[in-house]
C-alpha cells in the first residue's frame, strides 16, 4: 500500500504491482496501481504498533497525515 501526496493532485492511494515476468523471462519493474478500499483505522492501528522505534514526532506526523486522508479525496 502506498499513500502519497502531491501539491498538484493531493492524496492518492495505490498498491504495488510487483511486476510480471516478460516473454524473455525477465521480471518487469514494479509499479504503483490504483487500489480499492483504504482501511484507514486498521492502517493507523498497525502503524502505531509497528512504529515504536521511530522518532515519536515523526510517527505522530505520519499518523496525522493518515487520518487526514479521505477516500476519493
- Angle among Cα 42, 7, 51 to the nearest 5 degrees reads 30
- Asked whether residue 73 is assigned to any structural domain, the reply reads no
Decide if pLDDT at 59 tops 60. yes
pLDDT at 49: 94
- Asked whether residue 15 is assigned to any structural domain, the reply reads yes
- If one counts the domains in the chain, the total is 1
pTM of this prediction?
0.62
Decide if pLDDT at 73 tops 70. no
Distance of CA 67 to the CA centre of its chain: 13
pLDDT (average), residues 46-61: 94
pLDDT, tens only, 14-51: 888 887 766 777 777 888 888 877 888 888 999 999 99
- Asked whether residue 24 is assigned to any structural domain, the reply reads yes
* Residue among 40, 28, 55 nearest 1 (CA): 40
Structural domain boundaries, residue 39: 2-68
Q: What are the CA-CA distances from residue 7 to residues 4, 12, 13, 50, 66 (Å)?
A: 10, 11, 15, 28, 16
* Residue among 15, 17, 13 nearest 66 (CA): 13
Amino acid at each position: 500500500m502506498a499513500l502519497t501526496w502531491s501539491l498538484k493532485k493531493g492524496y492518492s492511494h495505490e498498491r504495488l504491482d510487483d511486476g510480471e515476468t516478460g516473454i524473455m523471462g525477465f521480471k518487469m519493474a514494479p509499479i504503483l496501481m490504483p487500489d480499492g478500499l483504504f482501511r484507514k483505522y486498521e492502517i493507523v492501528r498497525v502503524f502505531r504498533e509497528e512504529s515504536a522505534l521511530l522518532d515519536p514526532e515523526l510517527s505522530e506526523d505520519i499518523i496525522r497525515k493518515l487520518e487526514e486522508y479521505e477516500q476519493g479525496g
